[in-house]
Structures are given as C-alpha cells and as structure tokens.
C-alpha cells in the first residue's frame, strides 16, 4: 500500500553514513563480499595471458586453465611474493616471472625449475629441509588462495567470500543478452569513487540536467512524480512521466513520439539497471560495479538497445553501434568527471560520507540502507519493504 510522504518531516533527511573504507576492505565489508563480482570481460581473458585485477583491495590474477575455464588466484607467488600476473600462461598453467614456479588451476605448485628433472631436493635429507624451513618437493609447498569463478553473458565473475555455494544471489544476467532484435555491447570504465556513490549516480535523474546538459537531458522545469519501491534486496523507481523527452540519441529511439516507460532499479549489492522504453524499442543500461579500493572501482556497463526501424533490427543495430557507443562514451566520461569531483569533497578532511538529502533522495536513502545492512554483516531480516510516492523537478 502506498503511503504519501510527509513533506514536512522529509524536508531534510539524514541518511546512513557511507563508510567507503570498510565497504572496499575484504576483512571489514561484512556480507558485501558474499556476492559475485565481475572480474573482467570474457574477451579480456584470452588463453595464454594472465590478467591482473584488484577486488576489495585484494590483488587477483586471472587466467584460463587447460580446459579454457577461468581461474582466479591470489596474485602473489608463494616463493618470493612476486606478482604472478606479470608471468606467463602455458598449457593452462601459470608461471611466475621471477623464478619460474608453476601453478595449476587449483593454485598448487606443480613445478619448480631450480629442482631440475627430479623435482626433488637432492642433497639435504628430510631433517635438513625441515630444520631450515624448506620443502622437499613442489607438492609440499602448499597452494595459493583460490577464488571461485563463473562465466556467463560475456563476463567472468569472481566470488571473494570463500565457498561460492553460500553466495546470496546468482550472478546478474545482462538484460536482453542474445535476444533477437537487440544489440548489446560492453563498456569498461574505471571510476574514481566507491560503489555506493556510483550506484546512486547511475540511478539519479536530477543530476542529468547539470552533468549531461545538451547530451542527455536539458532543464525542462517539469514536475516528475515517481514511485519508489524497496523490496527483496532491490530499489525500483518508476517515473510517471510518459511525455518525458531525451536529447541526443533519445530522438533516434522515439521518432514517432510514443509514451516513455522509464524505470531505474538497484539490486544488492552493486548492480543497477536503467530502462528507457518506447513501445518495443528502447535501451537498457546495466552497470555492475566492482570495488578496487575505497574510492576506486571498475564498472562493467552493458548497453542493450532495440531500434524502432522497419528494417532488420540486428543489421541496423550493428551498423549504428559505433555511433551509439561513441555517444554513450561521452555521457559516461561526464559521470567519471563528476564522480572525481565528489571524491575530492569526500576525501577533504573528516566527515566525508555523511550525507543529507530531500525528497528526491529517497531512493538513495533506500540504497544506503541496504548497503549499510550488508556491510554490518546482514543481521536480522534487513530493511523493511516499503512503497512510497515522491515528486521532484527537472
């Protein structure tokens, strides 16, 4: 049941504080680590080359094993702690660039070149090895920490929370991936900010008239009613603005002036989906955020679109992809810049991360309530389900 908001009490709302340091720390992020995070695009991980990533402040090396499946290990050799991502992959095994120690997909040491053909200590006996803290054979050297991986929809996911069977949700599916008539491409962007601030930015309409003026939306002085629904680990915003118009490529998707159906949705802990639909045509922007550090994230954005042309959608969609990609790149660069501006304010002395807001920020307060609950270890049932109407102006 919808409850109109009490505007007098909502004139100024203090929302939960955002602790970016804890959110991006594997030891302090609570249940935030108990989800799948995108480590790379499938295309970024060819056979024969390792790839370095940092997730929750932890250095990870990715490569493909002898079966072509992705492997994720701690990016630190057991021998002298060199970065394994600077090494080589051969026959599905990873070699250290320093002394050539070789690891298989389980993280086990399977070869030490300095031990020669026998792969065994030749002079010291077992007591001599033990007294010096040395190992006799590669199989005695232990294993690197290994992280579970999963590959789907052109993405490689990694699970940082231990046993992936305890994951709180399946990896997010890319909207319209592989569906007839839809064109989909990825953008990988490094943002100078933390995950909470990024998902709020991707769900935020009021900033578009300032940050993306002329590119996406201009100031219209229009009243925008919306409904914010918090339920089941998600925050859905439905905008009651069928006649809303978008500048730039927005005209390409709606040449006949059909009513717009615009929804924004956040999924715990790090995913947003923004849909602009005019009948059967439109586009969906799906962003999945992977924390590198407190104010550093990699965002994997899938742009899926369907054009309203009386031509084969696939052919036309692919032909227009360079133009659409160029346009979306410009818009994302503007978000990168404003996120850098926000980071400068956040890190300028104590107090960063304590936000205030008005009615237009209700969805952000809901997002922060979920993120804070997970960061604290997800005690109890979590934020209650609520559906509320709001209004803001653009």
Specify if 353 maps to a domain. yes
Distance in angstroms (rounded) separating the CA atoms of residues 73 and 53: 10
- What distance in Å separates the CA atoms of residue 369 and residue 365, rounded to the nearest whole number? 6
Verify that 216 and 267 share a domain, yes or no. yes
Same domain, 325 and 287: yes
- Look at residue 13 in the predicted model and tell me its pLDDT: 40
Q: Are residues 135 and 209 in the same domain?
A: no
Considering the domain boundaries, does residue 9 fall inside one? no
Which of 33-37, 218-222, 323-327 is least confident? Answer: 218-222
Question: 381 and 346 in one domain?
Answer: yes
The CATH number of whichever domain residue 310 belongs to comes to 3.90.380.10
What pLDDT shows up at residue 10? 37
Query: Does some domain include residue 217?
Result: yes
- Domain end point (choices 137, 164, 191): 164
Beta strand segments in the chain, E: 13-14, 36-41, 51-55, 58-64, 70-74, 88-90, 93-95, 102-103, 109-111, 146-152, 155-159, 183-191, 223-231, 234-239, 261-267, 271-278, 281-293, 296-306, 356-357, 386-393
228 shares its domain with 281: yes
Q: In whole angstroms, what is the distance from residue 78 CA to residue 82 CA? A: 8
Boundary-marking domain end, from 135, 164, 193: 164
Going by C-alpha positions, the residue among 289, 307, 287, 306 that lies closest to residue 298 is 289
Q: Which residues contact 165 (CB under 8 A, 6 or more apart)?
A: none
Per residue, the 3-state secondary structure of 292-352, as one string, reads: EECCEEEEEEEEEEECCCCCCHHHHHHHHHHHHHHHHHHHHHHHHHHHHHHHHHHCCCCCC
Distances (CA, A) of 34 to 89, 151, 184, 298: 29, 17, 28, 18
Last residue of a domain, one of 164, 198, 225: 164
For residue 119, the domain's CATH number is: 2.102.10.10
**Contacting residues for 250 by C-beta, under 8 A, at least 6 apart:** 216, 276
Task: Report the residue count for the chain.
Answer: 394
Helix (H, G, I), strand (E, B) or coil at 210: helix
| Nearest of 243, 310, 302 to residue 275 by alpha carbon | 302
Predicted pLDDT of residue 206: 93
Mean pLDDT of the chain: 90
Query: How far, in Å, CA of 304 to CA of 182, rounded?
Result: 6
Give yes or no for a contact between 352 and 10, defined as CB atoms under 8 angstroms apart: no
179 and 142 within one domain: no
What are phi and psi for residue 136, nearest 5 degrees? -80, -45
**Interval 105-163: pLDDT, tens:** 999 999 999 999 999 999 999 999 999 999 999 999 999 999 999 999 999 999 999 99
Residue 359 lies in a domain: yes
Looking at the DSSP bridge assignments, the partners of residue 231 are: 234
Q: How far from 203 is each of 56, 124, 234, 264, CA to CA, in Å? A: 23, 64, 12, 6
The model's pTM = 0.90
Same domain, 128 and 274: no
Rg (C-alpha) for the chain, rounded Å, is 24
CA distances from 350 to 2, 353, 376 (A): 38, 9, 21
Instruction: Name the pLDDT band for 244 (thresholds 50, 70, 90).
Output: low
- 209 and 331 within one domain: yes
Kindly give the residue spans of alpha helices, DSSP state H, lying in the chain: 20-23, 126-131, 195-202, 208-211, 250-253, 313-346, 362-375
Show the DSSP H helices in 226-303 as ranges: 250-253
Both 277 and 203 in one domain: the answer is: yes
pLDDT at position 87 over 80: yes
335 and 375 inside one domain: yes
Residue 388 lies in a domain: yes
Residue 5, in any domain of the structure: no
Residues 350 and 251 in one domain: yes
When pLDDT is cut at 50, 70 and 90, the band that residue 250 belongs to is low
Quote the tokens at residue 156: 């490689």
- Using one digit for the tens of pLDDT, what is the confidence trace for 43-67? 999 988 999 999 999 999 999 999 9
Domain of residue 87: give its range: 47-151+159-164
Q: What is the Cα–Cα distance from 21 to 233, expressed in whole angstroms?
A: 22
Assigned domain for 331 exists: yes
Specify if 4 maps to a domain: no
| Bond preceding residue 269 cis, omega within 30 of 0 | yes
Number of domains, the chain:
2
Query: C-alpha 28: how far from its chain's center?
Result: 19
On the question of pLDDT at 15 being above 70, the answer is no
Indicate whether 138 and 214 sit together in one domain: no
pLDDT for 166 equals 95
């Amino acid at each position: 049941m919808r409850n109109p908001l009490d505007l007098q009490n909502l004139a100024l709302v203090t929302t939960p504080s955002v602790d970016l340091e804890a959110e991006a720390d594997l030891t302090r992020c609570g249940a935030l680590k108990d989800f799948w995070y995108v480590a790379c695009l499938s295309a970024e991980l060819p056979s024969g080359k390792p790839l370095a990533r940092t997730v929750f402040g932890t250095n990870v090396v990715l490569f493909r094993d002898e079966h072509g499946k992705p492997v994720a290990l701690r990016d630190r050799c057991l021998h002298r702690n060199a970065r394994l991502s600077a090494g080589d992959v051969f026959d599905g095994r990873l070699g250290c660039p320093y002394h050539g120690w070789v690891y298989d997909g389980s993280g086990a040491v399977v070869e030490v070149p300095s031990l020669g053909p026998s792969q065994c200590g030749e002079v010291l006996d077992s007591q001599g090895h033990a007294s010096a803290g040395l190992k006799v054979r590669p199989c005695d050297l232990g294993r690197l920490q290994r992280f579970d991986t999963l590959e789907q929809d052109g993405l490689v996911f990694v699970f940082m929370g231990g046993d992936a069977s305890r994951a709180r949700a399946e990896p997010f599916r890319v909207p319209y991936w592989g569906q007839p008539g839809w064109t989909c491409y990825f953008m990988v962007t490094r943002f100078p900010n933390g995950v909470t601030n990024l998902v709020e930015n991707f769900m935020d309409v009021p900033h578009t008239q300032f940050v993306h003026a002329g590119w996406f939306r201009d100031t219209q002085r229009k009243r925008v009613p919306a409904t914010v629904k918090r339920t089941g680990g998600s925050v859905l915003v439905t905008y009651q603005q069928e006649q809303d118009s978008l500048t730039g490529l927005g005209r390409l998707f709606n040449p006949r002036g059909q009513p717009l159906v615009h929804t924004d949705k956040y999924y715990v802990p790090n995913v947003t989906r923004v849909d602009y639909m005019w009948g059967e045509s439109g586009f969906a922007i799906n962003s999945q955020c992977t924390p590198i550090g407190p104010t550093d994230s990699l965002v994997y954005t899938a742009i899926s679109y369907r054009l309203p042309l009386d031509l084969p959608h696939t052919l036309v969609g692919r032909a227009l992809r360079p133009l659409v990609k160029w346009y979306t790149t410009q818009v994302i660069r503007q978000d990168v810049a404003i996120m850098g501006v926000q980071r400068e304010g956040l890190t300028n002395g104590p107090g960063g991360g304590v936000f205030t807001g008005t009615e237009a920020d209700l969805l952000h307060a809901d997002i922060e309530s979920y993120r804070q609950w997970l960061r604290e270890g997800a005690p109890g049932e979590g934020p209650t389900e609520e559906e509320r109407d709001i209004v803001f102006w653009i």
